[in-house]
Amino acid sequence: MNALKTLNPYFWKHRILLFWGFLFIVASNFFNIYKVQFVGKSVDAISHTDKLGFNKEVLIYVGIIVGSSLLTGFFTFMMRQTIIVASRRIEYELKNKIYSHYQELSLTDFKKTTIGDLMNRLSEDVVAVRMYLGPGVMYVVNLLVLLMITSIYMLNTNVSMTLWSLLPLPLLSFVIYKVSSIINKKSKIMQKSQSAISTFVQDSFSGIRVIKFFAKEQYIEKNYGIKVRDYQDKALDLAKTEAYFFTIILFVIGLLNVVILLIGGQKYLSNELSVGKIADFFLYINILIWPFSMVGWVTSVNQRAEASMARINEFLDMKSEIINSHHDVYPIKGDIEFRNVSYTYPNTGIKALDGLSFKIEAGKSLAIMGKTGSGKSTIALLLARLIDPTEGEILVDGRNLKDHNLENYRNYIGYIPQESFLFSDSIENNIGFAIDHPNIDLVKEYAKIADVDKNIKEFKDQYKTMVGERGVMLSGGQKQRIAIARALIKKPKILIFDDSLSALDTETEENILQNIETEITSCTSIIITHRESSAKRADQILNLTAVHDPASA
């Protein structure tokens, strides 16, 4: 139970809620057991009265039984309200911790490990851990309390019968544990098959155009069929094992009833026990059988939770490679210098840049040209410090980039990515995303500068138009221009265009470049482009040759 130790501080944090939960467990069990003796007493009372009809004694017993049952119900409700609520809160806190760590990790951290996998599993893992936090803890405590109270009552009634009827129960726990473990394994396999289906469906939805262009509908349908078939097989396999779960429990209930009947019958004949007491035993055993089964189940749940927690810990222990250790806030001018910068992608070993040096004064512009794969986008990543150089250094305003407050620095960067990425949100929010307090007039002003205002006005909902999966599909050029507006609205000091005008016709490109003349002169701009015409506007042009390009060797 090593990995689960990480959760102890969480338990401690919610100790008050959990403490109440334990009290409620004791109370609900107490009343659950307390009422049983009155069932026996009623049976005996009835069998001792000769005449049928009103029996005051029995009526009181029935009253106690009903009252106890109500209290049991109430305390069970309260127990769930405390323990399950605590487990949900801990789950929430854990999820937030995982998510914020995810946001902190750098770009290379994501690629080096199988983080995609990890992220997929984490959501499942958190659920597994919650099962340990809530039901796991609850059932174990429940069993212990129940066992204690029931044993006292049972031993008070008859010792040898108590021993006989308790004997098979640990075995039941063990068998249920084994069955649960198999169920867990199989349900994991089934989940995998299910997620394969959803990935496939998602893929074929987003790739629907490609599928239709290539007339591959039948092929896709056939593949889908195979995947669904696989899921069906696995679901059936699981259902078969699950069927054992209750069968075993019911079998043991039957078995124990026979034991009680046999032994109890003999004791009745030898006048050791009354019919009522034997009836009590039936009830005690039926109450105990569920928690004993649950302990088997919980053991397997806890094993799974431990494995899950270990994975979560492994993730939380990952240290980001990009560390921001400065927190002062100051303005950035925008002088940039690359000194002998080399960069090798750690996952592939591809050397994207080799000893690159250049200098841009604040307010000037640099166009970067070069063949595909020559390392242009890598320069943009380095400049925003999404990655750190393998060799050499980058200076901003004469200071090594690593010695800048990263958050402060990035506030001064405007970046238009090569593949325009917009969030599934309104156009207004996508443009306003870059700043803290966007307002619609400002958004419109920058949409005009990026020459996309007139397109937006054609949409029915104008700036409220949703983009992406659940909204309007934008053309490549429209997306690019919204991304440009988003970068400019920040009034950056360093502006990076990563081939961001490629989807535009030359006329629109000219329009934009003219509109942003003032923006460009007020900041240092880096324009990655394949077009001579755009490059010529810049103060300098950098021509990259690919490190691996045989022509440059």
Interface with Mg ion (CB under 5 A): 376-377, 418
For residue 406, which of 387, 420, 434, 430 has the smallest C-alpha distance? 387
Residue 352 as a binder of ligand ATP (CB under 6 A): the answer is: yes
| Phi–psi pair at 373, nearest 5 degrees | 85, 10
- Which part of the chain contacts ligand ATP (CB under 6 A), choosing from 15-23, 122-130, 275-283, 367-375? 367-375
Q: At what angle do helices 275-316 and 115-131 cross, to 10 degrees?
A: 150
Give the distance from CA 527 to its chain's centroid.
38
Cβ closest to ligand ATP, residue 402 vs residue 548: 548
Sheet-wide strand order for 351-360: 351-360, 336-344, 391-396, 399-400
CB of 378 to ligand ATP, least distance (A): 3
Cβ closest to Mg ion, residue 277 vs residue 376: 376
CA 321/CA 146 separation, integer angstroms: 52
CA 535/CA 387 separation, integer angstroms: 26
Residue 300 as a binder of ligand ATP (CB under 6 A): the answer is: no
Return the DSSP state at 530: S
Residue 377 as a binder of ligand ATP (CB under 6 A): the answer is: yes
- Which part of the chain contacts ligand ATP (CB under 6 A), choosing from 39-47, 82-90, 288-296, 376-384? 376-384
Pick what 55 binds: Mg ion, ligand ATP, none; C-beta below 5 to 8 Å, kind-dependent: none
Find the binder of ligand ATP among 372, 454, 518, 536 (CB under 6 A): 372
CA 483/CA 478 separation, integer angstroms: 9
Pick what 414 binds: ligand ATP, Mg ion, none; C-beta below 5 to 8 Å, kind-dependent: none
How many other CB atoms are found less than 10 A from the CB of residue 5? 11
Residue 375 as a binder of ligand ATP (CB under 6 A): the answer is: yes
CB of 542 to Mg ion, least distance (A): 14
Residue 418 as a binder of ligand ATP (CB under 6 A): the answer is: yes
As a 3-state breakdown, the chain gives helix, strand, coil percent values, each rounded to 5, of 65, 10, 25
CB of 351 to Mg ion, least distance (A): 16
* Ranges within 469-508 binding ligand ATP (CB under 6 A): 499
Amino acid, res. 345: Y
Q: Sort 405 into a burial class: Cβ within 10 Å, 0-12 / 13-18 / 19+.
A: middle
CB of 375 to ligand ATP, least distance (A): 4
Amino acid, res. 29: N
Cβ closest to ligand ATP, residue 65 vs residue 368: 368
Pick what 8 binds: ligand ATP, Mg ion, none; C-beta below 5 to 8 Å, kind-dependent: none
Residue 373 as a binder of ligand ATP (CB under 6 A): the answer is: yes
For residue 394, which of 376, 407, 380 has the smallest C-alpha distance? 380
Residue 322 as a binder of ligand ATP (CB under 6 A): the answer is: no
Amino acid, res. 344: T
CB of 324 to ligand ATP, least distance (A): 21
CB of 480 to Mg ion, least distance (A): 14
Query: Residue 226: left if φ>0, alpha if ψ -120 to 50, beta else—which one?
Result: alpha
Residue 529 as a binder of ligand ATP (CB under 6 A): the answer is: no
Which residue lies nearest Mg ion, judged by its C-beta? 377
Pick what 477 binds: ligand ATP, Mg ion, none; C-beta below 5 to 8 Å, kind-dependent: none
Instruction: List Cα–Cα distances, 156 to 9, 26, 161, 278, in angstroms.
Output: 41, 20, 11, 13
Residues of the shown chain interacting with ligand ATP in the complex, contacts defined by CB under 6 A: 111, 345, 347-348, 350, 352, 370, 372-378, 418, 499
